[in-house]
């Protein structure tokens, strides 16, 4: 937004110059000034929650909701990330159904107390959704 001076200029730029050839309606066609007010500070900088989305392709809500379980276990988190990155190096496909049981197994062997009965309050489950969000956030 700094480049275009104001919201109207930035909005025009996004709608006009980010349209793919042959595309009838661009990605930003329905974008409003209100959205830009939500995304940028008065100084023209991205707000922190939007910056996370731009950089990681996910939202702060997902991060808070899903990854706080690993705050008490930074080594476990690092181990999971390293394992997944090593799998990518050897060109192992990383789909959620493949990765979920691997992550669950690591939790069961290294942090069983985190996997309390899911029906009890405070329990944690390595769900497909959690696995997908973990991979999306840490591997992008």
How high is the pLDDT of residue 63?
A: 57
Q: Where are the chain's structural domains? A: 2-64, 68-139
Q: Tell me the pLDDT band of 102, cut-offs 50, 70 and 90.
A: very high
Q: Give the model confidence (pLDDT) of 107-124 as tens digits.
A: 889 888 877 655 456 567
Q: Give the model confidence (pLDDT) of 68-92 as tens digits.
A: 778 788 899 999 999 999 999 998 8
- Can you give the chain as a three-state secondary structure string? CHHHCCHHHHHHHHHHHCCCCCCCCCCCCCCCHHHHHHHECCCCCECHHHHHHHHHCCCHHHHHHHHHHHCCCHHHHHHHHHHHHHHHHCCCCCCHHHHHHHHHHHHHHHCHHHCCCCCCCCCCCCCHHHHHHHHHHHHC
Q: Crossing angle for the helix pair 96-110 and 128-139, nearest 10 degrees?
A: 100
How high is the pLDDT of residue 13?
A: 75
Q: Give the model confidence (pLDDT) of 8-49 as tens digits.
A: 777 777 777 766 666 666 667 777 778 777 777 877 777 776
The model's pTM is 0.55
CA 58/CA 106 separation, integer angstroms: 24
How high is the pLDDT of residue 14?
A: 72
CA 53/CA 60 separation, integer angstroms: 8
């Amino acid at each position: 937004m700094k480049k275009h001076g104001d919201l109207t200029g930035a909005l025009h730029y996004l709608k006009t110059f980010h349209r793919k050839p042959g595309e009838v309606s661009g990605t930003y066609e329905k974008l409003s000034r209100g959205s830009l007010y939500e995304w940028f500070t008065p100084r023209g900088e991205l707000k922190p929650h939007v910056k996370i989305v731009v950089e990681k392709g996910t939202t702060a809500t997902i991060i808070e909701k899903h990854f706080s379980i690993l705050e008490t276990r930074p080594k476990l988190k690092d181990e999971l990330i390293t394992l997944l990155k090593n799998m990518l190096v050897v060109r192992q496909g990383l789909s959620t159904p493949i990765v979920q049981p691997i992550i669950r197994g690591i939790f069961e062997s290294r942090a069983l107390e985190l996997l309390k009965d899911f029906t009890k309050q405070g329990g944690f489950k390595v769900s497909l959704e959690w696995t997908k969000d973990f991979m999306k956030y840490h591997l992008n």
